[in-house]
Amino acid sequence: MDRIECQWCQAQNEMGRTNCLTCGAPLDTKDLVTDSGWAEAPRLRDMTEFRFSNSTCQIEGEIVPVAELALAPGDSVFFEHHVLLWKEPNVPMSALNTGGGMKRMLGGMPHILSVAHGPGRVAFSRDHAGEVVVLPLHPSMELDVREHAFLAGTHSLTYSFVRIKGLANVLHGGGGMYMDRFVTHNEPGLLLLHGYGNVFQKTLQPGEKIMVEPGGFLYKDSSVTMNAVQQNVKTGLLSRGMNLAEMTGPGRVGIQSMYVHHGSE
């Protein structure tokens, strides 16, 4: 039986489908890849629906999109409490202690993540213009995400946070002190991020490097190393120069086109 492979998440879909069942990416439009290999994250059509576990997710709106989840019994998602837009009254909630209280307080990150359990519907929004990036994760994957970009993750993901190594990377890296880390073990998982502006992804070969504006970094495979590298150029009367994040493969790197500019004003 003929199948269509989604170019964003590589899931197999039945012929005739217009959207990927796993990530919602349009299947009837050609991939948008720049000459240097940056693939534009699929712009999800309004009301696009896709599945995870026994539940569904629907993306609504295009300027400040909303992710609405219909959770099946036994499924759950975790999220930062301030991204919750609405929920049905009967959706059970619980808390997920992230540990590392002092560290997270210093990093400006919430101590406790909220968990919504099925059955029922919940909806999330990051409250800013941009796009929802849908990242289905295969088993045994690790993904690092800049802080405050994560919208929701499914129960099969293990959440932790990692300190960004190196003082220079913390001070000049643009990603804060910590990154969120999402790990899958035996089951696949689904991660929803919010990207400000447009989002692009590039897959780096082993040893391949790319220099990125630190505020533009959105996510990376944990196999990609990130180092702040000072450029030997002056950017102002008193400023020493600018720092860029040097990303080294192998793995995927995601960036956003609307970003917070750090360290070289």
Partner 1 sequence: MSMPPATPPEGAYTCPYCRMASEGGSRTCPHCGAPVDVRLKVTESGWIEQPPIRDMARIRFSRSTCQISGSYVPVAEMGLHDDDWVYFSHHSLLHTDPQVRLGTLPMKGGWKRMRAGMPLIMMRAQGPGHIAFSADHPGETLAVPLHAGQAVDVVEHRFLTATGSVAYDWHTANVWFTTKDGDDEEWHYPLGKTMDRFTATGGPGLLLLHGPGNTFIRDLAPHQQILVQPGGLIWKDPTVGMFLHFEYPRGAYWFSSARWQAKTVWLLLQGPGRVAVQSVFERPETTGTVRRDSGSSTRHW
Nearer CB in complex with partner 1: 66/258: 258
For residue 38, the minimal CB distance to partner 1 (Å) is 7
Q: Which residues bind partner 1 (CB under 8 A)?
A: 32-36, 38, 40, 43, 63, 129-131, 196-198, 200, 209-213, 216, 231, 233-237, 242, 244, 246, 255, 257-259, 261, 264
Cis-peptide into 119, omega within 30 deg? yes
Nearer CB in complex with partner 1: 122/218: 218
Cβ neighbors of 87 (< 8 A, separation 6 or more) are: 93, 116, 120, 121, 122, 123
**Which of 161-170's residues contact partners 24+ apart within 8 Å by CB, and which partners?**
161/98, 161/100, 161/103, 161/104, 161/107, 161/109, 163/103, 164/226, 166/227, 166/228, 168/227, 168/228, 168/230, 168/243, 169/226, 169/227, 169/228
Which residue intervals of 138-213 are DSSP H helices? 167-172
Nearer CB in complex with partner 1: 72/258: 258
For residue 32, the minimal CB distance to partner 1 (Å) is 5
47 and 60 Cβ atoms separated by less than 8 Å: yes
For residue 117, the minimal CB distance to partner 1 (Å) is 34
87 and 123 Cβ atoms separated by less than 8 Å: yes
Nearer CB in complex with partner 1: 121/262: 262
Nearer CB in complex with partner 1: 102/233: 233
Nearer CB in complex with partner 1: 150/217: 217
For residue 67, the minimal CB distance to partner 1 (Å) is 17
Q: How many CB atoms lie within 10 A of CB 85?
A: 14
Residue 171 is classified by DSSP as: H
CA angle at residue 96 from 95 to 97, to 5 degrees? 115
CA angle at residue 138 from 119 to 136, to 5 degrees? 55
For residue 197, the minimal CB distance to partner 1 (Å) is 3
For residue 201, the minimal CB distance to partner 1 (Å) is 12
For residue 261, the minimal CB distance to partner 1 (Å) is 6
Nearer CB in complex with partner 1: 56/246: 246
Alpha-carbon distance values, 40 to 31, 48, 97, 103, 202 (Å): 8, 18, 35, 34, 9
